[in-house]
Amino acid sequence: MPDLMIERIVPWQLNGQKQSAFLCTPEHLDELAAGYLYTQGMIAGLGDIAEIAGDENGLNVTLRAGLTPQRTDILERLQACSACKSDFQATLVQIQAMCRRLLSEEDYFGTHRLALHCGEQAVYREDVGRHNAADKCIAYGLRQGWDMSRCILGSTGRISMEMLAKAAVAGIPVFFSRKYPSDIVADWAQRLGIALVIRAHSDAPGVYGARERILL
């Protein structure tokens, strides 16, 4: 059925304990699991994971011996993040080009598309859930050894508090979108030292949060 998105309910276990199933596009599931654990603050780094096995019928994630996953809510994760001290800056022209490329390659069946840029390198991931696509991009970047403090995250969807928290946990200093954030997202972005570029595909983008990171 070409007019329908592909979505699956993917059950998974962490150290043998059942977790809430992923509702996701069934691609790059190892990245999804790894990125989720990291951006939720349940692990300190991907090196804490011993193994990820399985497929869309079920995933089994095992942490290194002796490690117990930490569980925090979004406010605890945000409060635990120190303001990004990276001196990274990007030009508005660069970000506009990144966003236009992100949109030009999007398949408008309702999926969300995200990109993570690091210098001349970039990774793109699509998913029915924008949070899932963010986790996949972040896990990929971490596995490649990218310096997250010099990366740019971009989304075709809205930057929610949960999305901002994922960027903050990863230490990403610039986040762009074609849509608008809420007032609380803009406020927390300022506290966390993250620049938000909205309507980034347009000729008149807006900049919130750490505006000094964006060179006009």
- Give the start-to-end residue ranges of the domains of the chain: 8-76, 90-215
The reported pLDDT for the residue numbered 107 is 56
pLDDT at 1 over 60: no
Query: How does pLDDT run across 67-89, given as a tens digit for each residue?
Result: 988 888 888 888 888 778 899 99
Alpha-carbon dihedral of residues 167, 171, 174, 176, nearest 10 degrees?
A: -10
pLDDT at 108 over 60: no
Query: How does pLDDT run across 2-56, given as a tens digit for each residue?
Result: 678 899 999 999 999 999 999 999 999 999 999 999 999 999 999 999 999 999 9
- The pTM for the full model equals 0.95
Query: How does pLDDT run across 141-197, given as a tens digit for each residue?
Result: 999 999 999 999 999 999 999 999 999 999 999 999 999 999 999 999 999 999 999
- The answer to whether 60 and 54 have CB atoms below 8 angstroms apart is yes
Architecture field, domain 8-76: Roll (3.10)
Cα 115 from Cα 163, distance rounded (Å): 13
Instruction: Compute the Cα dihedral for 71, 74, 78, 81 and give only its sign.
Output: positive
Residue 135 has a CB neighbour count (10 Å cut-off) of 29
Is the domain covering 90-215 a CATH 3.40.140.10 domain? yes
